[in-house]
Structure 1
């Protein structure tokens, strides 16, 4: 028994020497008011990892927990705390967790701070609030309500107007395109095609512009010949109209428009042979109407002669 007692004392002394020593320091804790911030700095002879904040903390609010590092590599903790009540407030002890756990539990010391009220407890006088400031040229409140009402009415009008226009656009417009020329549509289209080819846009590398003009020539011809606004319509819309009207070689017309769209919008660069193939098709398709017109004139002439 006499031998065990000295051994226990030695082990107790060694454990005391190996225990972590916790130190703490308060910063900016003088003359505190509600909402003022002060710091609790926690140091130890070993690197610190974190602290455990209890859920029962009601008189204070911990805004931030920062992990600081010294040049020597040792870490310590800084808590930014805000009091939310007045009077003599007691801050509880916090559990401190070292970087390397030795199985022991360590705590900071509880402390007390004085939070000074801004006004005396028996002061019940209400302080006048400063009147609301107005911006320069600020309008009366009823003007803003009126503007909001006008905006709402305008939005409703635009929505209803767009719906009405959408219903009208779904039907084919049977209006004759305005044209000052007395030439037949096929002749105007051939003249436009010759003028386009004379510009040599393909040789200049202007593929998009060339095919835009090709598509425009065909669309204007459709407007003059079949009397619907092809220039303002997409290829899909023209396809819907072609299903309702009889357009000569309608599928070839749609293929031509889709080819032009691919160059205009998909940045497709066709070969010279492909370009000439579609240009020749457009020319021959437009010229076919010249033959139809001549046959109609001969037929009407024969009837009149008879």
Structure 2
């Protein structure tokens, strides 16, 4: 029986087309170049790990092949790669097939396409392959584990630059015309911004200073000044006039703070006249203050020599005046 040559030719072309389709549909049958190959062994189990490259772009896919070879008397479980991967997502995953190896072993090959999800130093983590004897029940079997090593993968946004790549020369230099008006506007705006910034800075500084101010009652300050004066021992040193000058200044400072009067800037006569016209003091305190200031003036200006008893009475009078007229409501900045 003769077979038409035309039919034979059509049959051969069909086989070729079918073979080509098989190659395209099975990525493991494509010509993948693996730059990383690692082998790991534990007893009856051998694992070969292949990775296409250590450097890829974020837009690329990474090829990975896992091949297990184990004695036929044993069973090996695949690691949960989807859960183990942190820097990659599984784009494609399939089992290529099984075949018999040497010494009654079974070789199984798995293929993966991995998609990077971030740039920088990424990693194929350590993978664990548990295995046991086929004759044992899974729940009661003694499991052993083969562990691989982690593999670092560098993921970039662009391809690594070839060391032999040279930089192209700049062909033309464009002469950029200077816009003087724009430069003036930018300079003026910068000056305005600096001025506004300085004003804001000063306002904040002033506000902080106000917040940090401390206020105390006028009588506390007066008592403190009187204690300090007593501690200077001016009377014991014979400096009576200086003692009375400071004593009257203490009381005038207190009156200024407590009653908002310009006592230190007036003569005794002017000050007493203003006190007489105002209602800030009760009549009895006005008389006490008049006696005290006139006594101080005698010592300061008339060279009057007071006795020790009069000196002590003057200090006591000043202390009592402050104590009788004190108020917590009148605070003074210190």
> Which TM-score applies when normalising by structure 2?
0.33
- Whichever of the two has the greater Rg, that structure is 2
Greater fraction strand: 2
> Which TM-score applies when normalising by structure 1?
0.36
